[in-house]
Structures are given as structure tokens and as C-alpha cells.
Chains A and B, each alone.
Chain A
């Protein structure tokens, strides 16, 4: 079926699914299946397991691999509290005063798998790198605390939308320790080639890290005087 041009023209103005036309009261087949394909990609991204070995190889430095207390993906999705806790018996050797970087699968292992290593390379900062599976943002507080880190930068897969299933979020927390809330963090979100590109994200993060060291804090008191970041979707 043909959709009138005056209607399809609306697509110029927005990424929303406008001007789809109609068959009876329904969406035409092409639009209906395009939606199904996007939803399938998002669902697959949520359920995909992080390949820690492959990620380790992509990083140019030694890393430690840890897991949260959530034993599998299903539990991870239903029990955010377990995703914020280290698996029992986890050992991490302190690296006092370091910058810790925790790469976390979060809700999109695809994002962590594809974008974390290039982002760390672009940051070009000395750091202790930890890979964490079945992890939420606040697991970084426990990891950073165990390492006695000065600050922790969590690079985590964000909840997939239909238009993007590989967005990486970056959360910076000064003096990480258990019990902090999101108010103590600064966030850069939507890091992906068609969102906030890696070089730009690395620039923003280097600025945030430098400011947190200068002010010795992160969170609402560390104002982002750069251009406004995209609204983030909380993944904690």
C-alpha cells in the first residue's frame, strides 16, 4: 500500500514512527515487522551473556574478572539487590588511591562488549580494570571500596530501546563505598557510534575525572558546565 506523501513527509522532523500509513485500523506489514525486528534485537541484547574472555583480550592491560551475587540472567533481572552485591568469596587486591574502571554487562552486554575497550583506550588514563558480570551500577561501589580506589568509573550496558540496543552508560563515583546512591554519581549516557561517539564521551569523562580530583567529590555538587548531557536512563 502507498502512504500519502504529505503524511510520510512528517518523518523528516522526528525519529518517531510517524507516517506509517494504515491498513484498516492496523499498521502495514512492513512497519509491523520492522518493529518486531527492533524489539527482537533489544530482547537479545538484554539476554546476551558478556564474553569476558574476549573482552579481556580486547583490553591492552591485565584485568580482574568478578561476578555479582546474581547467579544467572533471570535472577539478575528480577533481583537488582543481588546485582549490586559481589558474589560471596570475591577477592580483590587493594590498589590504594587508584582510578578503578568496572566494565559491567548491565542490561546490554552488547554495549559493554563493543564499546568499553575502545572507550578505555581513548581515555588513556592509568587505571585498575575490573570486568563484572550480572552487574548493576552500585556494584562498582563494592569493587572500588575493595580496591581502596580514589574513584570508580562504571561502564555499563544501558537498558536497550527499540532504536538502540548498544548504548553504554558511564557513572563516575568519588571515594566509592557501599551505601551510596545515584545522587553521589555523575553520568554520561548514550555512548555508541550513533549516539555520543567514543572520542566525545572520552573527552567528557576526562573532564569529569579531572574535576572530581580537583573538588574531591562527585554527584550533584560536581556541576556539568559542559553542554547538557542526554537524559540518562537509570540502570541501577
Chain B
């Protein structure tokens, strides 16, 4: 159905909910590239006013991508829980914003009653402080060998990438991160070469590091899900299955995945039974713009599609999910301002939908952003209760050629906001005597030669 709003004497028409959502989206280059962004600032606010009046129920009958052509739309509609939706079923999008900001109710019971499009819609009429204060009230925990997402905790993915997957190089970056308190979310390597042989070698190496140093954490090689499946068949020590996911069926096809393939991989990882305290075995990455990049966006704005990717993620209760927010480049998120807003939107939407959401606070050298922008987003995410961030040596990923957050950045954030690592990992840091300042001696248990650094 059509939507309209009159603002200052001009009548604005929006033929569909899909177009209304796109025009209501705060400015970003990807929607401009797609030709679906608001033509003027006033048109954008007119769309936001019209969107605020849309009943949440409408999202259950008017889909942004037809049910018949897209398996994510089918997943969203078929798994919607009307009982969970009941407390907010009478609200409009604007009323939902007010309700979220005023309520003291436990937001967990809402999750299965919310669709990604409802959550994306309300985020479009929220300021950054709204996105942060509501997200901070969403508690999402997950577990494998430690507990991720408890209140007052901030975890770090240790990301020890190396340009040629050199085992000693990866081990050296891993030890560097451990000495600076990183690694409780996961020790996760992006392989330079996505092959079963290479991935198996890296899995063996990280399993050895975790075993010899007796670290209560998990490893992951961020290879394609089919590569990880082959490694599981070959007997490799796979803790977590990684996959990049998107919010449309066609995006996922461009990634070479289906929902059935993800289910098969989850079953395979669960069959290994390698978790000690929990059974969350999936790790997903997302990011605004991937659907447009794959020409698979159906005219839907990039933030709404990003939220739809979270419907995929929550179908396979993951240990970790993060948006790689600034990685995609300036044609999707042009500058620090756009990256900042997108990072907080992604975190908010995922948390409200019940995901253990972290953010790769990052940028590329052709985006108009720098370390100051990253410090600001990092700090805002800390206030918002972000589950984890990345830890890269010196913030410089020498394999992927982009800048993320450093081990030092994580130390800063934990100290500034009095956040602590995951409890099991914190106890390990205490045992290793790593909670204080760096001394001239490494703990004997963490000698480099124990992990092959000689």
C-alpha cells in the first residue's frame, strides 16, 4: 500500500513500505549509489514522519522482498512468534520507539516477536543515544569454552592475521594479543588462502596454542563454510564454523551458501562436542552494502537488508556475530560519520533481535576516516554494551590491508568504562599474572618456545 505525509505544505508520496524505509534512512553513500536515498533532507524527514505512523502489524503483511522469491523473507515470516509480539502489537513504529526508551520490561521476551524490518524501521527514527541506551539494556549471552556477553564485560576477538599464513607469524601476533589481554571472544584468523589444507594447518596450530597455554577460549579459521566442513570431515579440531552472511537469498547465493548448508555445518560442528560449557558453535560476519555489491538488494536500503541478515544468524544460535562496518569502502559508507551511525545501528538491531553482537570498528584508506573516528565509535559502542571488538596488532591488519582496533584500544575501553573480560578468561589472565602492567619477564607458562617461537 501507499504511504504519504504532508510537511510544510508539500505532500510526499511513498508507493511501498520498501521505498518508505529507503527514503527514511539517514544519509549514506550506498543508498545514493543504489539510487534509492532521499532526494532532499526534507523528504527524508517526511519519510521518517510517515514511517513513525506505520503500525508494526503492517510489517507482517507487507514484506520488502516477496515471500515467494526469497528464503530469508520466508524464514522471517514463518518463524514470527505472535505471542511474543502481543505486548507491542498495538504500537506504531513511532510508538515503539517511545515504548523502548521508557520501558523497564525485560526485552528478551520480545525477540521472537520482532522482525528485522520492524527493528530497522525503529532504528531509522532514533538518534545515536537512543540506539545506545536501548542496546545497553539488551543482555545476550552465549558460551563455548567461556561465557560471552555478561553485564559489565567486554570481550575481544584476537585477530592475528599474516599475509602468507605463516604459522610462526600468526603465533607471534597471538602471543602479543594474549599479553595485552585479548582473545576471550575467539582467536580468529582470516586465512590468506582459503583451502582445506591451509585451513587444517591453521586449525591444528591454534588448537595447540590454546591447549599448551591452557586458555579458556576458542579458535576459528574464517574460511568458507564448505572449507570448514571439509576440515571437519578430515578430523581437524574445529571449534567454531565461520561464514559471512547477507540479508537476501541472492546475496547468500553470491557467498555460495544456503540456509541448508549452514544447518549442515552447525550439525557437523556440534557433533565434535568440543565446547566445555556451551554449544554455540557458529560465528557470523555481516556488513551493510554487501547485497548492493552483489547486485542482490531488490531496491531495499542497505541497513534494512543488514538487519535481515540477523534473521539468518539467529536461526543458528551463534557464539559471535559482528558487522565489519567500515571494511566495505566509501561507496557504501563514505566517512567516519556514516560508519559511526551504521556501527551503532547494526549493534542495536542485532541486540534487540537477540544476537551476541560485536563490531569490527574499522575503515579503509580510501574512506574519509581516521583513528579519531574509530576512537569515537569504539567508545560509543562501549557505552552501548557491545559484546566484543577486534584486537589487531597496532590496529593494522597486514593481511586484509585495513585498520581495525588494536589490543591497546581494547585495554583503553575496558579501563575507561570499567569493563572486564569474560570471567573464565579473566581468571586465566590472573593466573598468568597478566592483569597488571607489563614486566620484563613473561610468565613461564607463556614462554614463546612453548608455541614454536624459537
Q: Check A4/B180 contact, CB under 8 A, given A16-B394, A25-B411, A159-B365.
A: no
Per-residue B-contact encoding for A161-199, CB less than 8 Å = 1, 0 else:
111010000000000000000000000000000000000
Q: Which of A9, A20, A231 contacts B448 (CB 8 A)?
A: A9
Report A81 CB to chain B, min CB distance, Å.
7
Q: Check A18/B393 contact, CB under 8 A, given A7-B438, A77-B330.
A: yes
A6 contacts chain B at the CB level, 8 A cutoff: yes
A159→B401 contact, CB < 8 A: yes
Report A174 CB to chain B, min CB distance, Å.
23
Report B400 CB to chain A, min CB distance, Å.
8
B331→A16 contact, CB < 8 A: no
Report A169 CB to chain B, min CB distance, Å.
12
Per-residue A-contact encoding for B145-174, CB less than 8 Å = 1, 0 else:
000000000000000111110101111110
Q: Check A46/B396 contact, CB under 8 A, given A4-B438, A16-B173, A22-B411.
A: no
B169→A16 contact, CB < 8 A: yes
Pick the most buried of A5, A22, A228, A230: most chain B CB atoms within 10 A of its CB. Answer: A22
Per-residue B-contact encoding for A70-83, CB less than 8 Å = 1, 0 else:
00000001111100
Cβ–Cβ < 8 Å partners of B168 in chain A: 13-14
A88 contacts chain B at the CB level, 8 A cutoff: no
Q: Which of B32, B403, B411 contacts A39 (CB 8 A)?
A: B403
Q: How far is the CA of A119 from the CA of B100 in the complex (A)?
A: 61
Cβ–Cβ < 8 Å partners of A159 in chain B: 364-366, 401
A39→B169 contact, CB < 8 A: no
B450 contacts chain A at the CB level, 8 A cutoff: no
A16→B440 contact, CB < 8 A: no
A4→B440 contact, CB < 8 A: yes
Interface residues of A in 57-100 (CB under 8 A from B): 77-81
Per-residue B-contact encoding for A34-46, CB less than 8 Å = 1, 0 else:
0110110011011
A26 contacts chain B at the CB level, 8 A cutoff: yes
A15 contacts chain B at the CB level, 8 A cutoff: yes
Interface residues of B in 287-342 (CB under 8 A from A): 330-331, 334
Q: How far is the CA of A38 from the CA of B175 in the complex (A)?
A: 24
Q: Check A26/B408 contact, CB under 8 A, given A10-B175, A17-B393.
A: yes
B408→A22 contact, CB < 8 A: yes
Smallest CB gap from B167: residue in A: A13
B415 contacts chain A at the CB level, 8 A cutoff: yes
B33→A230 contact, CB < 8 A: no
Q: Check A31/B331 contact, CB under 8 A, given A4-B438, A162-B403.
A: no
Q: How far is the CA of A45 from the CA of B442 in the complex (A)?
A: 40
A42→B172 contact, CB < 8 A: no
Q: Check A6/B441 contact, CB under 8 A, given A14-B162, A78-B334, A159-B364.
A: yes
A233 contacts chain B at the CB level, 8 A cutoff: yes
A160 contacts chain B at the CB level, 8 A cutoff: yes
Report B251 CB to chain A, min CB distance, Å.
16
B172→A25 contact, CB < 8 A: no
A161→B365 contact, CB < 8 A: yes
Cβ–Cβ < 8 Å partners of A13 in chain B: 166, 168-169, 171-172, 453
Report A161 CB to chain B, min CB distance, Å.
3
Cβ–Cβ < 8 Å partners of B365 in chain A: 39, 42-43, 45-46, 159-162, 165
B193 contacts chain A at the CB level, 8 A cutoff: yes
Cβ–Cβ < 8 Å partners of B393 in chain A: 14, 16-18, 20
Interface residues of A in 139-162 (CB under 8 A from B): 159-162
B371 contacts chain A at the CB level, 8 A cutoff: yes
Q: How far is the CA of A129 from the CA of B370 in the complex (A)?
A: 37
Q: How far is the CA of A163 from the CA of B163 in the complex (A)?
A: 11
B141 contacts chain A at the CB level, 8 A cutoff: no
Interface residues of A in 184-236 (CB under 8 A from B): 228, 230-231, 233
Sorted from nearest, which 3 A-B pairs have the closest CB atoms? A17-B394, A161-B401, A14-B169
Cβ–Cβ < 8 Å partners of B439 in chain A: 4
Smallest CB gap from A21: residue in B: B438
B426 contacts chain A at the CB level, 8 A cutoff: no
Smallest CB gap from B452: residue in A: A13
Report B44 CB to chain A, min CB distance, Å.
18
B179 contacts chain A at the CB level, 8 A cutoff: yes
Interface residues of B in 386-402 (CB under 8 A from A): 392-396, 398-399, 401-402
Q: Check A14/B179 contact, CB under 8 A, given A22-B438, A25-B412, A231-B193.
A: no
Smallest CB gap from A107: residue in B: B366
A27 contacts chain B at the CB level, 8 A cutoff: yes
Cβ–Cβ < 8 Å partners of B440 in chain A: 4-6
Report B391 CB to chain A, min CB distance, Å.
12
Q: How far is the CA of A163 from the CA of B32 in the complex (A)?
A: 32
Cβ–Cβ < 8 Å partners of A118 in chain B: none
Smallest CB gap from A27: residue in B: B408
B139 contacts chain A at the CB level, 8 A cutoff: no
Cβ–Cβ < 8 Å partners of B71 in chain A: none
B364→A163 contact, CB < 8 A: no
Since A14-B398, A16-B392 are in contact, a sample of 6 more A-B pairs with Cβ atoms closer than 8 Å, ordered by chain A residue number, is A16-B160, A17-B396, A22-B408, A79-B331, A163-B396, A163-B398
Q: Check A4/B441 contact, CB under 8 A, given A13-B168, A14-B398.
A: yes
B33→A25 contact, CB < 8 A: no
A6→B442 contact, CB < 8 A: yes
Q: How far is the CA of A108 from the CA of B395 in the complex (A)?
A: 22
A78→B330 contact, CB < 8 A: yes
A22→B180 contact, CB < 8 A: yes
Per-residue A-contact encoding for B334-375, CB less than 8 Å = 1, 0 else:
100000000000000000000000000000111000110000
21 contacts between A and B (CB under 8 A): A7-B176, A13-B166, A14-B162, A15-B162, A16-B393, A16-B398, A17-B406, A22-B408, A25-B408, A26-B408, A27-B394, A31-B394, A39-B370, A43-B365, A46-B366, A77-B334, A78-B330, A159-B365, A159-B401, A160-B365, A161-B401
Report A70 CB to chain B, min CB distance, Å.
11
Smallest CB gap from A15: residue in B: B398
